[in-house]
Structure 1
């Protein structure tokens, strides 16, 4: 008879810190996406950008912030800024992919490689249009606040 050993990887179980981080960054993603929309060029496809940003925020908050809640405010701020940067990059990649799909359906590309490289170009173009003080402040303050609240939840409920 064989003996079965069950090992859980670090961070596999849900914790209060992960829950708070996921909710905080999901809300940050939703409100930041709502703030970005007026700055995007006319005709930009933004279908579901708020909900998709919430989804990305939940996942990044859970995996980046909630995995290792920081003991100090400076550590929490650093992790929150990193998570906010990841959130911005994934949302811009998503919006760039939406733009590329719209152009692809109109037959603007001659090959797959041209379409895939245009995802990055579209994302960078939308990111350049969305570089506004209120959007950046909302994104990074939301990330830092999510990380601080996650650290508080880890101390409170562990």
Structure 2
């Protein structure tokens, strides 16, 4: 069921995904083609905000902050997983793996490599402040538009 809190949560995580994706591209390898990286992360942000954060609104201010942190953590997890899976398939098409289990392990290895890029201070700051603000804004939307 569409609610204002789901919409606000989805928009907040979409904006966070857009900002962080831009920071990752700026800090990443020069000359690398990122393709649909930003768009995929924005879609994941929308889905995580709508499904995870939006339905948990209305439980108080402390729960709102925890809700924002949970939503951003889910966004980071799914972003690393989806981008790692995409990169694994690209490498698999170039016959880089000896078998299917090696390819499945590569998803997590690639995800960890991508996760290391998130350890830049400006990205961590953006994720943290964005999580708190998105949780609070989602709670405000729930209380205002029931």
The answer to whether the superposition gives a TM-score over 0.5 is yes
Which residue of 105, 119, 139 corresponds with 1:131?
119
Give the 3 Å change call, closer, same or farther, for CA 87–101 of structure 1 in structure 2: same
Q: Secondary structure at the match of 1:30?
A: helix
Task: Could you tell me which runs of 5 or more consecutive residues in structure 1 were left unpaired when the two chains were aligned.
Answer: 1-12
**2:55 maps to which residue?**
67
**More deviation in 119-128 or 69-78?**
69-78
In our comparison, the structure showing a higher alpha carbon Rg is 1
CA RMSD of aligned residues (A): 1.7
Task: Could you tell me which runs of 5 or more consecutive residues in structure 2 were left unpaired when the two chains were aligned.
Answer: none
Which residue of 17, 20, 24 corresponds with 1:32?
20
**More deviation in 108-117 or 31-40?**
31-40
Q: Across the two proteins, how many residue pairs are aligned to each other? A: 146
Q: TM-score, normalised by structure 1?
A: 0.84
Deviation at 1:47, TM superposition (A): 2.1
Deviation at 1:39, TM superposition (A): 2.9
Give the 3 Å change call, closer, same or farther, for CA 40–96 of structure 1 in structure 2: farther
Q: In the aligned structure 1, how far is the partner of 2:51 from the partner of 2:110?
A: 27
* Structure (1 or 2) with the greater helix fraction: 2
Q: TM-score, normalised by structure 2?
A: 0.91
Conserved in 2, the CA contact under 8 Å of 1:109 and 1:115?
yes
Give the 3 Å change call, closer, same or farther, for CA 96–40 of structure 1 in structure 2: farther
